[in-house]
């Protein structure tokens, strides 16, 4: 269309007096405390969204939600068959199957939470176009959703540990495991919030997150133990600073080896979890007014 955009014409101006103390900007970013209060108010929405997506993720399969339990059980049986029956390789680790199952199952949760949390804002575009709610609800709901699907995985994991050859080593230390899991969820949430903002801006980063997770996997003693390869105390110290290494180490100590995890391990993990969660929340909140432009 070629009609001239009438930009030059001078027009009469009508002034409207607007009370700026009553009419507030619609896309203003609320202060952090108010933002957190808004998030708390939307907790029902976060829960409903997470639950709806857990269910709809398995819809279409004949067995439906039963897959939430079946999949980890089948995963575990793969490890049992390959490492327990076929390879019979324990790489010098006591109760290697338990070691392996704890490592892979627990690491998988962190990896899945971080990647789906980071993509949650892009995935939640249609909801964002329809409703105004604090955008941090989306990464939080993603992590809640992964946590809900994580519970059957944990049950499968504990079952494997109970039936494995050396027999269960039940002790009071089993009661410590929920605390490790709490810190693990907090860590995953922090990373999801931290990464959601750059990933929303530059979606290409999704691909890099997958690669970063792979590096992290090998640096967290999921398949093998470090003591065999590394003698240098400095490098060993660096590995002990890795929060996922601590998550796996503490859980194995409690469930498999009957060792009480030392305070340093808890401190490292606790600082990481609380720290990333706090920083992640602030970073995400600072971008709040830019998520709509998708």
Partner 1 sequence: MALSEHFGPDVQVAVDEVHVRYRTASDDAGLRRSLPRWQRAANRVIGREPTVLVRALAGVSLVARAGDAVGIVGLNGSGKSTLLRIIAGLEHPDRGQARARSTPVLLGVNAALLPELSGRQNVHLGCLAMGMTPAQAEAAYPTVVEVAGIGASIHRPMKTYSSGMAARLKFAIAAASEPQILLIDEALATGDAAFRDRSEERMKLLRQNAGCVFLVSHAAKTVEETCTRAIWLHHGRVVTDGPAYEVAQAYRWWAWNLAKGETEKAAGLLEDAFRQGVDTQIVLSPADATHVVPRHARR
Chain residues that interact with partner 1, rule: CB under 8 A: 1-7, 9, 11-28, 41-42, 44-45, 48-49, 52-53, 56, 59, 126-133, 289-290, 292-293
Our CB check for partner 1 shows the closer of 59 and 88 to be 59
What is the closest distance, in whole angstroms, from the C-beta atom of residue 4 to partner 1 in the complex?
Answer: 7
Our CB check for partner 1 shows the closer of 49 and 75 to be 49
**CA distance linking residue 203 with residue 30, whole number of Å:** 26
Our CB check for partner 1 shows the closer of 245 and 291 to be 291
Q: Which of 183, 106, 113 is nearest to 143 (CA)?
A: 113
Residue 106 to residues 5, 9, 127, 248: CA-CA distances in angstroms? 61, 67, 30, 7
What is the closest distance, in whole angstroms, from the C-beta atom of residue 46 to partner 1 in the complex?
Answer: 9
What is the closest distance, in whole angstroms, from the C-beta atom of residue 252 to partner 1 in the complex?
Answer: 38
Our CB check for partner 1 shows the closer of 60 and 234 to be 60
Region label for 64, one of left (φ > 0), alpha (ψ between -120 and 50) or beta (otherwise):
left
What is the closest distance, in whole angstroms, from the C-beta atom of residue 235 to partner 1 in the complex?
Answer: 38
Query: How far out from the chain centre does Cα 253 lie?
Result: 23
Our CB check for partner 1 shows the closer of 137 and 276 to be 137
Our CB check for partner 1 shows the closer of 14 and 207 to be 14
What is the closest distance, in whole angstroms, from the C-beta atom of residue 293 to partner 1 in the complex?
Answer: 6
Burial of 249 (0-12, 13-18, 19+ CB in 10 A): buried
Degrees to nearest 5, angle at CA 258 with 176 and 170: 75
What is the closest distance, in whole angstroms, from the C-beta atom of residue 2 to partner 1 in the complex?
Answer: 7
What is the closest distance, in whole angstroms, from the C-beta atom of residue 52 to partner 1 in the complex?
Answer: 6
What is the closest distance, in whole angstroms, from the C-beta atom of residue 285 to partner 1 in the complex?
Answer: 15
Our CB check for partner 1 shows the closer of 133 and 272 to be 133
- Please report how many Cα atoms fall inside a 13 Å half-sphere around the Cα of residue 167, on the Cβ side: 1
Contacts of the segment 154-160: beta carbons below 8 A, 24+ positions apart? 154/105, 154/181, 155/69, 155/72, 156/69, 156/72, 156/73, 156/75, 156/76, 156/105, 157/72, 157/76, 157/101, 157/102, 157/105, 157/106, 158/255, 159/73, 159/76, 160/76, 160/80, 160/97, 160/98, 160/101
Query: How far out from the chain centre does Cα 270 lie?
Result: 16
Our CB check for partner 1 shows the closer of 57 and 219 to be 57
């Amino acid at each position: 269309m070629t009609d001239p955009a009438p930009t030059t014409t001078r027009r009469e101006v009508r002034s409207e007096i607007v009370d700026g103390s009553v009419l507030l900007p619609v896309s203003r970013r609320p202060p952090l405390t108010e933002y957190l209060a808004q998030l708390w108010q939307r907790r029902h929405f976060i829960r409903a969204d997470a639950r709806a997506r857990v269910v709809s993720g398995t819809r279409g399969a004949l067995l439906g939600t039963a897959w939430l339990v079946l999949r980890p059980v089948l995963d575990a049986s793969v490890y049992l068959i390959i490492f327990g029956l076929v390879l019979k390789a324990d790489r010098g680790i006591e109760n290697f199957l338990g070691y392996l199952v704890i490592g892979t199952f627990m690491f998988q949760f962190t990896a899945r939470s971080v990647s789906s949390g980071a993509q949650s804002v892009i995935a939640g575009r249609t909801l964002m176009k329809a409703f105004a709610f604090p955008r941090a609800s989306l990464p939080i709901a993603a992590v809640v959703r992964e946590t809900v699907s994580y519970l059957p995985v944990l049950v499968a994991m504990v079952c494997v540990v109970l039936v494995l050859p050396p027999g269960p080593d039940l002790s009071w230390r089993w009661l410590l495991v929920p605390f490790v899991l709490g810190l693990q969820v907090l860590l995953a949430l922090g990373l999801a919030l931290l990464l959601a903002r750059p990933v929303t801006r530059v979606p290409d980063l999704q691909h890099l997150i997958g690669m970063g997770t792979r590096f992290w996997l090998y640096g967290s003693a999921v398949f093998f133990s470090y003591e065999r390869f590394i003698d240098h105390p400095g490098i060993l110290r660096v590995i002990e600073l890795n929060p996922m290494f601590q998550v796996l180490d503490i859980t194995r100590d409690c469930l498999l080896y009957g060792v009480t995890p030392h305070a340093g391990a808890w401190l490292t993990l606790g600082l990481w979890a609380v720290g990333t969660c706090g920083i992640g929340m602030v970073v995400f909140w600072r971008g709040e007014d830019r998520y709509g432009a998708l």
